[in-house]
Chains A and B, each alone.
Chain A
């Protein structure tokens, strides 16, 4: 018999109380993992839109949002003339409205852009992608109730549907692909794209592009995909928001642990007093309370992890969300949530442990 067996015996004999405490932590962990996982997944999806077989992305310096970035399309030709560039592709991002759909993402791209070549064509073909015709992602075709050959109303214009494609990426699958020139015209951005993706020629490094951009186009910036992900302020905001929302959930979880541990201490004041009479030091009593809190926390972490995995799986099966939900829960997220849970539990147990440790055993034995 050890201190841990005392701890587990106490938790076992108050199963409901233990379960409530663990549930508080579990909800915190589940909320954090779900929010972080979902938003992390969304960020990853957006990163893949930018990547599209390219290693770098060029955009206007110091813009907070890529939708506000204006990169002259002439830069594409200049870039493609450089020996260190294998291919450069302009992409114009825009948001357009459609009947009953306030937000539809629109991608202005060239016909030779790799994303259409790689897509699974459900109807139509890339040959028809010209003029003002559009290609719809499968989900977009669903909610716009359109098929190849139909006309769809997007913003202030009507566009013929050249084809429908199935994309792996949820954003692209729910988006509309428009020929770059038509997109520029529709959004009054003639001659500009939002970004230019750059694939490097073999044997060349990203610094060649960076140096060239820095010298020739100082109003632009060129970043490797990883650098972009780390530095793009929108991603930072999204990630920070996820951790803050999750952290708030933990505050509630922490209160639940505090409540559980206070109840645990108050309901056995005499037992704690007897333990002290039997030779338990204050540190041992506090250790027992912290141990109980950590054990509750461990159950909570496990429960929260299972809850979030189950919940996210469930979300992925909802047809309307398919493709949009791509949770990204790795060891980093799990460790972060677990560390927060442990921290919350320890802080939550501080007052109960302090109270229990400073109990005067003689007075506590008289406690009714």
Chain B
């Protein structure tokens, strides 16, 4: 699902090197936790996998695609990759339902099918009764569950999470992460998630540790 070879990435015209020759393979259906201290390159690696950042060198293949053009990047994000962030990044003045339909608008999906899928995902995450509410009326946990549903609306094979439970309290963290894992495993999806939380990381199939832009360990 993800094949990365010798990927380098720097910012500020090469002054800040964030990824230094990263190699990574993730098989379909695997759940992978990326761990490491802040600034070690976890988020940048996720962005490179999603095509949101271009690698300076090295090769990146995600969901069978090599991202070479804007068109391929857009297709990848529309059909193959879902992304959940630490902050929900929902649009505050839209209802939860409208937020969840944003990826469907982007992909030009059919409304009836989208609504059926939304109902199913909302049921699974317990937000069915909240769909008509505006985001600003929801709690942090509810918003993050909404963000999770949004990321899965176009049925991506690969779900990327950048500290998806990092801003939640303990009870919500546990609840949202359990839902995330259930939704990923139920459909045989692949998960690559950056986290500081070793307890959550240990529940993934693999735990990869990063330090200073490099992968230093990869354990099942």
Is A1 touching B106 in the complex (CB atoms < 8 A)? no
Partner of A274, one of B53, B91, B97: B91
Interface residues of B in 9-53 (CB under 8 A from A): 47, 50, 52-53
Given known contacts A274-B91, A365-B85, is B70 in contact with A282 (CB within 8 Å)?
Answer: yes
A352 contacts chain B at the CB level, 8 A cutoff: no
A13 to B91, CA, bound (A): 11
Known: A274-B91, A362-B47. A280 touches B53 (CB 8 A): no
Complex CA–CA separation, A360 to B50 (angstroms): 13
Contacts from A to B (Cβ < 8 Å): 1-3, 5-6, 9-10, 12-13, 268, 270-271, 273-282, 284, 360-362, 365
Cα(A13)–Cα(B92), bound, Å: 10
Contact B85 A279 (CB under 8 A): no
**Interface SS, B side:** helix
Verify A278–B103 contact, CB threshold 8 A: yes
B77 near A: Cβ within 8 Å? yes
A5 to B91, CA, bound (A): 13
Is residue B111 contacting chain A, with contact meaning CB distance below 8 A? yes
Q: In whole Å, how far is B118's beta carbon from the nearest beta carbon of chain A?
A: 11
CB distance from A50 to the nearest CB of B (A): 60
Residues on B with C-beta less than 8 A from A361 are: 52
Distance between A273 CB and nearest chain B CB, rounded to angstroms: 8
Q: B70, B103, B107 — which one has the most chain A CB atoms within 10 A of its CB?
A: B103
Query: Are B105 and A277 in contact, CB atoms less than 8 angstroms apart?
Result: no
Q: Check B107 against A279 for contact (C-beta < 8 Å).
A: yes
CB of A362 within 8 A of CB of B93, answer no
Task: For A270, list chain B residues within 8 Å (CB).
Answer: 89
B141-181 contacts to A, CB under 8 A, are 150, 154
Q: Which 9 A-B pairs have the closest CB atoms?
A: A279-B78, A279-B106, A13-B93, A362-B52, A278-B103, A362-B47, A279-B77, A1-B101, A274-B89
**Can you spell out 22 A-B residue pairs with CB atoms less than 8 angstroms apart?**
A1-B98, A1-B101, A3-B105, A6-B105, A9-B94, A13-B93, A270-B89, A274-B89, A274-B90, A274-B91, A275-B102, A275-B106, A276-B77, A277-B50, A277-B52, A278-B103, A279-B74, A279-B77, A279-B78, A279-B103, A280-B105, A362-B53
A/B pair count, beta carbons within 8 Å: 66
Question: What residue in chain B is nearest A274 (Cβ atoms)?
Answer: B89
**B residues with CB within 8 A of A:** 47, 50, 52-53, 70-71, 74, 77-79, 83, 85, 89-91, 93-94, 97-98, 101-107, 111, 150, 154
Residue of B nearest to A366 (CB): B43
Cα-based distance from A216 to B79 in the complex (angstroms): 83
Instruction: From B52, B71, B85, B111, give the contact of A1 (CB < 8 A).
Output: B111
* A9 & B93 in contact (Cβ 8 Å cutoff): yes
Contact of A278 among B94, B102, B111 (CB under 8 A): B102
B52 contacts A271, C-beta separation under 8 Å = no
List the A side residues contacting B107 at CB < 8 Å. Answer: 279
Q: Quote the shortest CB–CB distance from A94 to chain B (angstroms).
A: 66
* Known A-B contacts A5-B98, A361-B52, A362-B47; A278 and B93 likewise in contact (beta carbons under 8 Å): no
Contact yes or no, B77 A277, CB < 8 A: yes
A360 to B44, CA, bound (A): 13
Query: How far apart are the CA atoms of A221 and B28 in the complex, in Å?
Result: 88
A282 proximity list for chain B (CB < 8 A): 70
Q: Which residues of B contact A279 (CB under 8 A)?
A: 74, 77-79, 103, 106-107, 154
Closest to B47 in A: A362
Q: Given A9-B98, A361-B52, is A280 in contact with B89 using a C-beta cutoff of 8 Å? A: no
Chain A residue nearest to B89 (CB atoms) is: A274
- In angstroms, Cα B98 to Cα A275, docked, is 12
The chain B residue sitting closest to A278, CB to CB, is B103
Question: Min CB distance, A196 to chain B, in Å?
Answer: 69
Contact B50 A1 (CB under 8 A): no
Residues on B with C-beta less than 8 A from A362 are: 47, 52-53
- CB-defined contacts of A13 to chain B, threshold 8 Å: 93
Residues of A within 8 Å of B104, CB to CB, are 1
Give B97's nearest chain A residue, CB to CB.
A1
Instruction: Determine if A281 and B105 form an interchain contact, defined as CB atoms under 8 angstroms apart.
Output: no
Collect the chain A residues with CB atoms within 8 Å of residue B90's CB: 274
CB-CB under 8 A from B97, the residues of chain A are: 1
Give bound CA distance, A2 to B105, whole Å: 6
Given A9-B94, A274-B89, A365-B89, 11 other A-B contacts at CB below 8 A?
Answer: A1-B97, A10-B93, A268-B91, A273-B89, A274-B91, A277-B77, A278-B150, A279-B78, A279-B154, A281-B106, A361-B52
Determine the chain A residues whose CB is within 8 A of the CB of B77 once the complex forms. 276-279
Cβ-closest chain B residue relative to A285: B106
Min CB distance A9 to B, Å, is 6
CB distance B106 to A278 under 8 Å? yes
A11 to chain B, nearest CB (A): 11
Instruction: Tell me, in angstroms, the Cα distance from A207 to B70 when the chains sit together.
Output: 66
Whole-angstrom distance between the Cβ of B49 and the nearest chain A Cβ: 11
Q: Contact check: which of B53, B74, B98 meets A281 at CB < 8 Å?
A: B74
Give Cα distance in the complex from A276 to B90, angstroms: 13
Distance of B137 from chain A, by nearest CB (Å):
14
Contacts of B89 in A (CB 8 A): 270-271, 273-274, 365
Please judge, given known A-B contacts A9-B93, A284-B106, whether A277 and B78 are in contact too, CB under 8 Å.
Answer: no
Q: Which residues of A contact B103 (CB under 8 A)?
A: 278-279
Q: How many whole Å from A363's CB to the nearest CB in chain B?
A: 8
State in angstroms the CA–CA spacing of A3 and B98 once bound together: 11
